[in-house]
Amino acid sequence: RQRRFERVWFWGCIQGLRGAYYIAEGLGPNRAAPRSRLYSLNCLDWSLLTPATKEMLALAEQLKGRFQGDPSFEYNLAEINAEVAARLIEGGKEPVIKEEARLIATIEQIDRAVGIVPRGAFVKTPLGSVHENRHFEGLSLLEAKKLSSYFHFTEPVNLKNKTLLEKADLDPSTDFLDSLEHDIPRGSWSIQLEKGGTVVVLRSLLWLGLTFYHVPMTKQFGYIYFGTGEKNLDLPFML
Tens of pLDDT, residues 121-143: 888 887 777 888 888 888 888 88
Cα separation, 160 vs 66, whole angstroms? 36
Residues 6+ apart with CB under 8 A from 53: none
Residues 148 and 233 in one domain: yes
> End of a domain among 85, 113, 141?
113
Considering only CA atoms, which of 178, 47, 183, 54 is closest in space to residue 109? 54
Count of helix runs (H) and strand runs (E) in the chain = 7, 14
Does residue 51 lie in a domain region?
A: yes
Total number of domains constituting the chain: 2
Give pLDDT, residue 168: 57
Give pLDDT, residue 234: 87
Does residue 105 lie in a domain region?
A: yes
Q: Is the pLDDT of residue 23 over 90?
A: yes
Residues 213 and 131 in one domain: yes
Q: Is the pLDDT of residue 92 over 80?
A: no
Report which listed range, 7-11, 93-97, 177-181, is most confident: 7-11
Region 164-182: mean pLDDT is: 68
Residues 60 and 141 in one domain: no
* Residue 42 exposed, middle or buried by CB count within 10 Å (0-12, 13-18, 19+): exposed
Does residue 1 or residue 68 have the better pLDDT? 68
Residues 45 and 137 in one domain: no
Give the three-state DSSP class for 44. Answer: coil
Cα separation, 20 vs 154, whole angstroms? 26
Give pLDDT, residue 166: 55
Domain extent for 194: 117-237
Cα separation, 23 vs 44, whole angstroms? 12
Q: How far is CA 192 from CA 54, 217, 238, in A?
A: 35, 17, 19
Residues 134 and 94 in one domain: no
Bridge partners for 20 per DSSP: 15
Q: How confident is the model at residue 226 (pLDDT cuts 50, 70, 90)?
A: very high
> End of a domain among 87, 113, 139?
113
Q: Is the pLDDT of residue 164 over 60?
A: no
Residues 131 and 227 in one domain: yes
Give pLDDT, residue 171: 60
Cβ distance 189 to 179 under 8 Å? no
Long-range CB contacts (within 8 A, 24+) of 29-38: 29/129, 29/131, 30/129, 30/130, 30/131, 31/122, 31/130, 31/131, 31/132, 31/153, 32/124, 32/129, 32/130, 33/129, 35/111, 36/3, 36/5, 37/11, 37/104, 37/107
Does residue 64 lie in a domain region?
A: yes
Does residue 228 lie in a domain region?
A: yes
Does residue 1 lie in a domain region?
A: no
> End of a domain among 80, 113, 146?
113
Does residue 2 lie in a domain region?
A: no
Region 52-74: mean pLDDT is: 88
Q: How confident is the model at residue 186 (pLDDT cuts 50, 70, 90)?
A: confident
**Angle, CA 11 vertex, CA 7 and CA 15 arms, to 5°:** 150
Mean pLDDT across the chain: 85
Does residue 215 lie in a domain region?
A: yes
Residues 172 and 187 in one domain: yes
Q: Is the pLDDT of residue 157 over 80?
A: no
The one-letter amino acid code at 94 reads: E
Residues 129 and 102 in one domain: no
Region 174-184: mean pLDDT is: 78
Q: Is the pLDDT of residue 14 over 80?
A: yes
Q: Is the pLDDT of residue 59 over 60?
A: yes
Residues 123 and 101 in one domain: no
Residues 129 and 230 in one domain: yes
Cα separation, 87 vs 68, whole angstroms? 26
* Residue 114 exposed, middle or buried by CB count within 10 Å (0-12, 13-18, 19+): buried
Does residue 221 lie in a domain region?
A: yes
Give the three-state DSSP class for 92. Answer: coil
Give pLDDT, residue 21: 95
Residues 92 and 33 in one domain: yes
Residues 127 and 178 in one domain: yes
The alpha helices in 11-93, defined as continuous H runs, are: 54-62, 77-80, 82-90
Q: How confident is the model at residue 60 (pLDDT cuts 50, 70, 90)?
A: confident
Give pLDDT, residue 139: 87
Please tell me the pTM assigned to this model. Answer: 0.85
Report which listed range, 64-68, 119-123, 152-156, 180-184, is most confident: 64-68
